[in-house]
Amino acid sequence: MKPQLFFIAASFATVLLLSTSPSALAAKSPAMQACSAQWADMKKAGKTEGQTWPQFWSQCSKDYAAKNGGSAEPEQPTKTSKKARTAAVDESDSTGSGQQKKDCDAKWGAYKTKTGSHGWHDYFQFMAKCM
């Protein structure tokens, strides 16, 4: 009897966990909360006038930001742009880099024959040492 009770409880917990949508668990911004409440009221009153939620949210979030100052979206960690990053090594193409690569390619053929190296992994390791 106890294994059956455990199975039923585990099944119920699994169904409950799977039925909870991720969006319901996510934190909502103040704008999302206000606009969601306004949308629900409009739907109850039948005053959506053929508008869909994405259309309503687009306008409502802008209006909310204008009234309350700031962004309608929740704050997210800022990502550094690729332009803002600085390289540890200057990788600018110097005038001799093309010729240097050609010289290394010629050396690669001899190195490959001598050591039996093959494939991209060995090639890139060789080129890193050569250049």
pTM of this structure: 0.36
Domain ranges of the chain: 29-44+54-69, 97-130
Tell me how far the alpha carbon of residue 69 is from its chain's centroid.
27
pLDDT in tens, 59-101: 998 998 888 876 555 555 556 555 666 656 666 656 667 888 8
Q: What is the DSSP letter of 74?
A: P
Helices (H), the chain: 2-19, 22-25, 30-45, 53-68, 97-115, 119-130
